[in-house]
Structure 1
């Protein structure tokens, strides 16, 4: 039998006559992702990667990602997004306090006790339409698609147990960011600004008396057995970070892809923060069981004294932001109220 070849326009006409439409292959969208973490870091594996995988799954594989870890595209994540070199990037605001001063509101511990409480409040403020989005992120053309924090940090010392607020006076304590050093000064300690990678040697030499640190990071920096004493009953603040896109890049994506990205962050945040809380406490209990950590459990009246000083530090921060025209008090109130209605 002789085959018959129909011109393309006749094929299209026949398909339409049968009530169908020609099949059109959907184009794959590849987004470049930049972050500063090693590929084995838990924040990548349990946080960012899981979010990206869920976006790929939700779009039936149409959205793929080129990932550049360990600052391979450069250290200025904000600049990478603004220039279009990266489509999505992890940003740690405490490393860019000039660009993200108001994110310091999330670092005060007066409004949460767990990672999940802190992350929930941060997301409520940072998501599109939130108070931080309006005051800081959106104003710089950024959209937050995933928000996370470390575990709340503990006041730990290497040799001297701290059993009262007076004991903290004059101790040289490591703290990252801008809010945590302020909190240290509020309890009478001297904040020390070094990198976390320098902390092991500084504690070993005695040039630093201790640190504000989450237990979930002690193994990575080999600090188990070095920070031997904890102030029990008091938690200091967290360090916050987010994954963002430029608003213009997000707006250029198809609507279904926008929806997939918007929906991906919160479920991963919830699973990741629960893991972080559990991991942090497991490491703490392991250090106690091995004799490498002792905890000075403060009486309730003493705990109140510490917490009053930490709240004063947050209020002083807010007043300074107000003086600079940045509505710090309004944001502090938003942080306090976030999650209250849920």
Structure 2
């Protein structure tokens, strides 16, 4: 899931970054038209195209997307059908905001940290140490991102999209290959660890580790070859990407951050929908947030036991080390907010609102 988002634009010969993106979206539109034309005609009144970057069997697809589809169909009385384009069929993860804005997809998998130049405040859900479960994080994020929420007002609505539901995976652990030899808190130093861009990178640097950016599908080969020592991921993603075959040690009970994901609809498309369809999408989205986070938390506990039974060393930290981590995570949050405040973004207000929303969950 995580993907770099703050790189400088690459200038290709003969064109600007915008013209390059326009050509890419044009090619995607042509490919999408062919794919859509090959699909059977739907008898539903409304057909919505949803695009994401996840493998079709991913835990998010199973626990959130498919649940959402089923609930909308039921609530709308069969008036709505979906066409699902997984695995970056309509665009790379970092391009799915543009894919949704242009109408190539009606609903897109939009991760604020992947488009941090447009949605920097949305990364508040990814700050380490903030919450203890998927449900705490997801419901707090939802309270800010849903229509009328603080993040909706500041970032989503200005970008022409409306959030239908959010996903915050269970808190990330640090998982390591056998070659990494990770056995204790001090072993973070010098280890090359794949992380999301932004707050996670800051947290790893403070521990003396070297954060590395790459997409989840690349992690398996990188860990197998020793290019990286480990990665920050929840156990659900560890298994989804077959990393359980190479992981031999892991932290447990920590929160190195998560990924805050939204499934958002093009605002013009939303405004054109009948009121009863809008109501079905709204209710289904709210239900999806609660259903998915509960499933993620249950699966996370089950997978932790499974990995341990298969010989994975679960590394716990002493109270003194926990205190070091807590101070580290607090410093990351303060730095994140301070850097955005300098850019004129009300990050202090967003961070305060997010923490209040977490407290309300407890």
Question: TM-score when scaled to structure 1?
Answer: 0.86
Of the three residues 182, 190, 196, the one matched with 1:161 is: 182
Measured in 1, the distance between the counterparts of 2:111 and 2:281 equals: 20
1:175 Cα deviation from its structure 2 partner: 0.7
Q: 1:287 aligned to 303, 307, 313, which one?
A: 307
Any idea what SS the aligned residue of 1:36 has? coil
Q: What are the within-5 Å matches in structure 2 for residues 147-226 of structure 1?
A: 147-158=166-177, 159-164=180-185, 166-226=186-246
What CA RMSD, in Å, does the superposition of the two structures yield over aligned residues? 2.0
Q: Give the drift of 1:255.
A: 1.7
User: SS at the partner of 1:52?
Assistant: helix
1:260-312, Cα deviation, whole Å (9 max, x unpaired): 11111121221211111111221111111121x11222121220111110110
Corresponding residue for residue 35 of structure 2: none
Q: Is the 8 A contact 1:55 1:261 kept in 2?
A: yes
Partner SS, residue 285 of structure 1: helix
Matched, 1:132 2:151: yes
Post-superposition offset of 1:125? 1.0
Residue 336 (structure 1) aligned with residue 355 (structure 2) = yes
How many residues align? The count is 315
Distance 1:316 1:162, change over 3 A: farther
Q: 2:134 aligns with which of 115, 120, 135?
A: 115
Q: How big is the shift at 1:318?
A: 0.5
Distance 1:330 1:199 in 2: 35
SS in 1 for 2:83: strand
Shift in Å at residue 202 of structure 1?
2.4
Q: Measure, in 1, the Cα distance between the counterparts of 2:187 and 2:89.
A: 44
Query: CA–CA distance in 1 between the matches of 2:91 and 2:182?
Result: 42
Once the two structures are TM-superposed, the CA of residue 27 in structure 1 deviates from its matched residue by 8.1
1:205 to partner: Cα distance:
2.9
**Structure-2 change in CA distance of 1:59 and 1:202 (3 Å):** closer
Q: 1:286 to 1:313 in 2, by over 3 A?
A: same
Q: Is the 8 A contact 1:233 1:303 kept in 2?
A: no
> 1:138-169 CA distances to partner (integer Å, 9 max, x unpaired)?
121211011002221112333333423x4422
2-side partners of 1:282 and 1:27: how far apart? 39
Paired residue secondary structure (1:103): helix
SS at match of 2:182: coil
1:72 aligns with 2:89: yes
Distance 1:74 1:229, change over 3 A: closer
- Mean CA deviation greater in 202-211 or 302-311: 202-211
Cα distance in 1 for residues equivalent to 2:82 and 2:195: 34
Q: Secondary structure at the match of 1:133?
A: helix
Deviation of the 1:171 alpha carbon: 1.8
User: 1:7 maps to which residue?
Assistant: none
- How far the C-alpha of 1:32 sits from its partner, in A, is 2.2
For 1:220 and 1:39, the matched residues in 2 are separated by 10
User: In structure 1, how many angstroms separate the alpha carbons of the residues matched to 2:226 and 2:210?
Assistant: 14
Structure 1, unaligned runs of 5 or more: 1-25
Higher Cα radius of gyration: 1
Q: 1:314 aligns with which of 318, 326, 333?
A: 333
Matching residue within 35, 55, 77 for 1:38? 55
Q: Which residue of 1 aligns with 2:279?
A: 259
TM-score, length of structure 2 as denominator length: 0.81
Contact 1:184/1:191 (CA < 8 Å) preserved in 2? Answer: yes
| Alpha-carbon shift at residue 233 of structure 1 (Å) | 4.0
Equivalent position of 1:241 in the other structure? 261
CA contact (8 A) 1:186 1:312 kept: no
CA change 1:333–1:258 in 2 (3 A) is same
Match among 54, 58, 74 for residue 71 of structure 2: 54
Distance 2:90 2:212 in 1: 30
The yes-or-no answer on 1:84 pairing with 2:103 is: yes
Secondary structure, aligned partner of 2:239 = coil
